[in-house]
Amino acid sequence: MSETAIKPRIEKIPLKEQLAQKLPVLLVPLLAAVGLIAIGNPASWLTLTVAGLAMGMMIFIMASGLTVVFGLMDVINFGHGAFVAVGAFVGFTVLAWLAGWTASPSVFMNLSAVLIAILAAMLVTGLLGLAFERVIVMPVYGEHLKQILVTMGGLIVAQQMIYVVWGPDELHMSRPEALQGSLVIGEAAIEKYRLVAVGIGLALFIGMRHILKN
> 19 with 5: CB under 8 angstroms?
no
pLDDT in tens, the chain (214 residues): 455 555 555 566 676 776 677 777 777 788 888 888 888 888 888 888 888 888 888 888 888 877 787 777 788 888 888 888 899 999 999 998 998 888 888 888 888 998 999 999 999 998 988 888 888 888 888 888 888 888 888 888 888 888 898 988 888 888 888 888 888 887 888 888 888 888 888 888 888 888 877 7
Q: Which residues contact 77 (CB under 8 A, 6 or more apart)?
A: 66, 69, 70, 137, 147, 151
Q: Within a 13 Å sphere around the CA of 114, how many CA atoms are in the beta-carbon half?
A: 18
CA-based nearest residue to 138, from 160, 156, 162, 154:
154
Alpha-carbon 161 to chain mean position: 23
- The whole-number pLDDT of residue 116 equals 93
Distance, in Å, from the CA atom of 72 to the CA atom of 16, rounded to the nearest integer, reads 29
Global pTM reads: 0.73
- The whole-number pLDDT of residue 119 equals 93
